[in-house]
Amino acid sequence: MKLMRGRGPGWLVMGLVLCLAACNSDRPEPAEFDLPSAGLHIRVTRVATHPFLSRFQLTLQVEGPGGCTATAELFPDTGYAGRRNVYQQASGAITLLGQYDARVIERDTCTIRLVEFQSLTGQATFLGAFDADTQKRWQFLPPSARPERPFEKH
């Protein structure tokens, strides 16, 4: 019984605070990017799916010219694979490129298409990335804040 003495409610509170600090919140974390030249507003929302592991559901939402909208579920972040690079193609289409999926946003029709990586050929301009910053906050990072980080394809 002597071992339990000195470990009162203070230790319990401290342990609870440390446990809660290590937990992921299931509160949605939206990150947004406006592309005025294309009339697009792009949002990628991240929601934790596990209280301790780095696992997140990612949802892409697009608002286009004339008020059109589109939504698509992206490949989930199953462990530090949530980053999505954003590019503008020579055709004007916007591409969201992840480690395991690629989406093309057609601004005129406000549609989101899942495409094969091999179909993404030609020149594209890097516009930034949806990713966690150094404080692990989910946000859109323009090229001025972080240069392009290509994906390693296996």
User: Which DSSP string corresponds to 27-52?
Assistant: S-EEEEEEETTTTEEEEEEEEESSSS
Taking all residues of the chain, what is their mean pLDDT, rounded to a whole number?
A: 85
Q: Is residue 115 part of a domain?
A: yes
Quote the domain boundaries for residue 91: 25-141
What's the CA gap between 60 and 139, in Å, rounded? 13
Tell me what pLDDT residue 23 has: 59
pTM of the model: 0.81
Helices (H), the chain: 9-22
Q: Is residue 11 part of a domain?
A: no
**Nearest of 105, 31, 45 to residue 76 by alpha carbon:** 45
The per-residue pLDDT for range 1-35, each reduced to its tens digit, is 455 455 656 544 444 444 444 456 679 999 999 99
Answer whether residue 56 shows pLDDT above 90: yes
Identify the weakest region by mean pLDDT among 45-49, 92-96, 106-110, 131-135.
Answer: 106-110
In the chain, the number of structural domains is 1
Tell me what pLDDT residue 7 has: 61
* β-strand pairing of 124-132 with 94-97: unpaired
Q: Is residue 20 part of a domain?
A: no
Q: Across residues 69-97, what is the average pLDDT? A: 92
Tell me what pLDDT residue 19 has: 41
Task: Give 96's pLDDT tier (boundaries 50, 70, 90).
Answer: very high
Q: Contact, 16 vs 9, CB < 8 A?
A: no
Residue 137, classed as helix, strand or coil, is coil
Indicate the helix (H) or strand (E) that contains 89.
strand 84-89
Q: Is residue 109 part of a domain?
A: yes
Q: Is residue 125 part of a domain?
A: yes
Q: Is residue 152 part of a domain?
A: no
Q: Across residues 32-51, what is the average pLDDT? A: 94
Tell me what pLDDT residue 15 has: 45
Please give the share of the chain, as a percent, with pLDDT higher than 90. Answer: 56
Answer whether residue 36 shows pLDDT above 90: yes
Q: Is residue 108 part of a domain?
A: yes
Tell me what pLDDT residue 90 has: 87
Q: Is residue 3 part of a domain?
A: no
Tell me what pLDDT residue 3 has: 52
The tokens describing 132, both together, are 């966690």
Q: Contact, 41 vs 140, CB < 8 A?
A: no
